[in-house]
Structure 1
Amino acid sequence: RMFKYLRKRFASHLTERNRRRARLVSKDGRCNIEFGNVEEQSRIAFLLDIWTTILDLKWRYKMTVFISVFLGSWFLFGVLWYAVAYLHKDLPAFKLPLNHTPCVENINGLASAFLFSLETQVTIGYGFRYITEQCGVAVFLLILQSILGVLINCFMCGAILAKISRPKKRGKTITFSKTAVISKRGGKLCLLIRVANLRKSLLIGSQIYGKLLKTTVTPEGETIILDQINIDFLVDVGNENLFFICPLTIYHVIDKNSPFFDVTMETLRQQDFELVVFLDGTVESTSATCQVRTSYIPEEIFWGYNFAPVVSRSKEGKYRVDFSNFSRTVEVETPHCAFCLYNEKDAKDKIQKGYDNPVFEMTEVNETAETKM
């Protein structure tokens, strides 16, 4: 019995672990998807859009490209300067006469040609090695390397600056609660999620919405994996132009139009779906748009709980946000299904409106007594 129990627990643990891994969007917003069998023409499109490709590279690959491009250009032009010196017979191996004027002074080999190329492209300044007016090929090569060097510097430095200033980094300071909860709010059964802005600078024109990802089967028998269903989220302060200075609680009303209407407290963990929540906004300091996203699976949704308060007021009159309670939940009284809640409300409304009792039976009474004068 002990062996069967341990095997069952181990199997359930592996099932839950694989289920947690098989999510499209991770908690920090990264998409878990890969593309296979991409055509060669589509791969060439990545090279044509080289700017976006460089920006999307990870830092280790970007720095590798950065170093390789500069070292490669210095070495390439170093070889060209060495070829100019060799063709003009400026190298010491040619036994130069005393009155010989080389194209570039003091180039004695490939190493000195590489150093001259480095000085030319990074504009360190000429000292011991410098160009002369002896040959026009060297002048043309100098102009060409200077122009290409400026273009390479602008592209690579601009790519690094754009990588640093991408609004994606601003999204790291927007955080969602680790779990979602289902409880009553305003007399309605709602799914609640908490979101906070860790910076004092605001997000302008913020918009919050969600997508429910699940596998569905159409009436025609077609199975759609990752079918997307719109989930509307509301905020008490309004869905547009949020004053996002303190943590907000967004909620989705579980009514008859909600895909969660048929879900109960007992069947929630048996569902197979992924709720992805998006927050779009414009960064106030840079006017760049950013998107923050996270996801929740059934194991991360607690039925019958609510979030603990996080905003308080100090004695000095300042408002204080306690982020230790940001994802903390407290148990509250909650109906175990939305259908039960709405049936209970309908029954109370019928009683208040004075509906007839269908069990009540009315009988007629015939008055046969006569009044005598």
Structure 2
Amino acid sequence: MSKKSSAFHEQEIKNSGFSNNSNRNRAINENGEFNVRNIGLPFFRPYEIYNHLITMPWLRFTLMVVLGFFVINFLFASVYFVIGPGHFPGMDASTTFNNFLDAFFFSAQTLTTVGYGRISPIGFWASSVAALESLFGLLSFALATGLLYGRFSRPQAKILHSAIALMAPYKVTQRGFMFRIANMRRNILNEVEASVTISYMNEEPNGPIRRFYPLELEIKMIRFFPLTWTIVHPVDEKSPVYGWTKEDFKKADVEILVSLKAYDETFSQNVHTRFSYRYDEIIWGAKFIRNFEQHSSGFTHHYLDRISDFEHAQLPELVSSDVLETERPL
């Protein structure tokens, strides 16, 4: 072990939260969630309901609300229909199906407390069920309002990142690992901080072990975030992957873990996001193409659909292999 590799060993991240066991699965999925599935939990988990409702996709949430509305009205309409049209003056359709439709729409009017008045309940059971549905409707709409507020008020970072990362020329004679990020929203993000960790399989006497090391960045934090930020890790003598080739990345099953934190002025809160790049999502010998330009109107046009655009470029030559052998970490 060289002095250099000893220094790297001291820098190893021990609190990554991931296992060091031999594991070649992705750590962070493309949607930013950890690639972990908890097993052994009970099927019904009431403590998860609220979190699930405010984090599920909007389309699924909308469909759930609409479906719930129809199911509730269908159930109450069935009860009204069983009680009988005679207990609901105005429910005098000529067919059974039309009577059920009248009961369904009466249920919808009762649930929403609209009450047009054409149909009204008479008798203990009819009035009791209608009163119960009114209470249920008030509670349901209060719950739906709270969920909508929770979904709208929950701060989220909508940070776009390039679909690929690059191993690119850096300062003419060096190499740099780099990727790009940009704010998808029109809100203001300040004090944006980036933390980048490399995870790779290291062959050791007792078998392969997954190690985690921090990657030093050219710039760790930017005060303002109006344009694309190209995050660069200089692959110099201080880098854990100094001298590594594309084949080395593949053999070591490299995954680059990225964590971002920023202050959102709209919500006056910190927002976080995370993503990763695996070895097969890294393009070697390329550089990004600028995705913004000055316009005659006086504005800077920022093209977010070009954040992943790149062109091929010649990488600087590596130093001799005998030097690299002593510089690589364990």
Q: Partners in 1 of 2:49 and 2:247 — Cα distance?
A: 52
Q: Which residue number corresponds to residue 64 of structure 2?
A: 65
Whether the aligned pair in 2 keeps the contact of 1:304 and 1:333 (CA below 8 Å) is yes
Q: Partners in 1 of 2:268 and 2:231 — Cα distance?
A: 24
Any residues of structure 2 matched to 1:1-373 within 5 Å, and which?
A: 23-25=26-28, 28-31=30-33, 33=35, 35=37, 38-41=39-42, 43-45=43-45, 47-58=46-57, 61-82=60-81, 85=83, 92=86, 104-107=88-91, 111=100, 112-131=102-121, 135=124, 138-156=126-144, 158-159=146-147, 162-163=150-151, 167-168=155-156, 171=158, 174-176=160-162, 178-185=164-171, 189-216=175-202, 221=206, 223-224=208-209, 227-235=211-219, 239-240=220-221, 242-264=223-245, 267-268=248-249, 270-287=251-268, 289-313=270-294, 318-321=299-302, 324=306, 327-332=309-314, 334-336=316-318
Change (3 A) 1:182 1:303: same
| Cα shift at 1:260 | 0.9
**Deviations 1:283-335 (Å, cap 9, x if unpaired)?**
33344654444432334434454434445445665544466586323525624
**Deviations 1:191-247 (Å, cap 9, x if unpaired)?**
22222234443213322112323334666x36555x543334342xxx345311112
Q: Runs of 5+ in structure 2 lacking a partner?
A: 1-23, 325-330
Percent of residue pairs identical: 20
Q: Partners in 2 of 1:240 and 1:338 — Cα distance?
A: 34
Q: Partners in 2 of 1:115 and 1:320 — Cα distance?
A: 52
Q: Partners in 2 of 1:105 and 1:338 — Cα distance?
A: 95
Worse-superposed segment, 257-266 or 206-215:
257-266
Change (3 A) 1:55 1:184: same
Q: Partners in 2 of 1:60 and 1:325 — Cα distance?
A: 27
**Count of aligned residue pairs for this structure pair:** 294
SS of 2:198's partner is strand
Whether the aligned pair in 1 keeps the contact of 2:193 and 2:261 (CA below 8 Å) is yes
Q: Which letter does structure 2 place at the counterpart of 1:71?
A: F
Whether the aligned pair in 1 keeps the contact of 2:286 and 2:310 (CA below 8 Å) is no
Q: Partners in 1 of 2:76 and 2:307 — Cα distance?
A: 61
Q: Which residue number corresponds to residue 356 of structure 1?
A: none
Worse-superposed segment, 151-160 or 116-125:
151-160
Q: Runs of 5+ in structure 1 lacking a partner?
A: 1-20, 93-101, 343-373
Higher relative contact order (CA 8 A, sep 6+): 2
CA RMSD between the two structures: 4.0
Q: Partners in 1 of 2:131 and 2:35 — Cα distance?
A: 47
**Deviations 1:252-293 (Å, cap 9, x if unpaired)?**
233455321251467455542111323232433344654444
SS of 1:33's partner is coil
| Cα shift at 1:148 | 1.4
Q: Partners in 2 of 1:74 and 1:325 — Cα distance?
A: 48
Change (3 A) 1:146 1:339: farther
Q: Which letter does structure 2 place at the counterpart of 1:29?
A: N
Q: Which letter does structure 2 place at the counterpart of 1:147?
A: L
**Deviations 1:52-88 (Å, cap 9, x if unpaired)?**
22334445643453233222322333344456x46xx
Change (3 A) 1:302 1:106: closer
Whether the aligned pair in 1 keeps the contact of 2:218 and 2:233 (CA below 8 Å) is yes
| Cα shift at 1:149 | 0.8
| Cα shift at 1:122 | 1.8
